[in-house]
Amino acid sequence: MDDEVNTSAEIAENAVLARGVHIEDLPTAENAEQAQKMGGAKGKNPAQWAYERLIHYIQQFEESLDGEHEVGMGFVGSESGVLTIQGIGYFAPDIVTFYGTDAGGGKRQLVQHVSQLNVMLTAAPRQKSPARRIGFRLGQELEKTAG
């Protein structure tokens, strides 16, 4: 028997892990079958839980890309341009890191606290042929560590 006590709000929140609606009835990352299998945040620190959900969002975004584009990350309110995502990591309990390159091929790394996490995924022109899919590789790594 589980001795954990939850408020009614927590019970309601835990009943549905994710939900999304799109104006054109297109699939959303929140409604993907994988999202419902993620298991929630229980036992995970905030950085790990943010990392796992980011992998899911990237994988879903990559499914909509053609062979000429890779997943990139735009920066709101900044002249920093786009970072083509080549890796993601986390440092428990509260740091998420993005590794990649800018449009000119220069190395970029963004280190961000989970409380400040804002990620705008964008279709960036591929830098190598064929386009590389980081979401697939991240998913493989996540499966290895979960099992």
Tell whether 139 is covered by a domain.
Answer: yes
Q: Which long-range contacts (CB under 8 A, 24 or more apart) does 77-81 make?
A: 80/108
Q: What is the pLDDT of residues 16-64, one digit of tens each?
A: 677 777 777 777 788 788 877 887 888 999 999 999 999 999 999 998 8
Tell whether 1 is covered by a domain.
Answer: no
Q: What is the pLDDT of residues 83-102, one digit of tens each?
A: 889 899 999 999 999 998 88
Tell whether 95 is covered by a domain.
Answer: yes
Tell whether 26 is covered by a domain.
Answer: yes
Q: By residue range, what is the domain housing residue 30? A: 8-146
Q: Report how many domains make up the chain.
A: 1
pTM over 0.85: no
Tell whether 3 is covered by a domain.
Answer: no
Nearest Cα neighbor of 32 from 9, 53, 5 is 53
Tell whether 2 is covered by a domain.
Answer: no
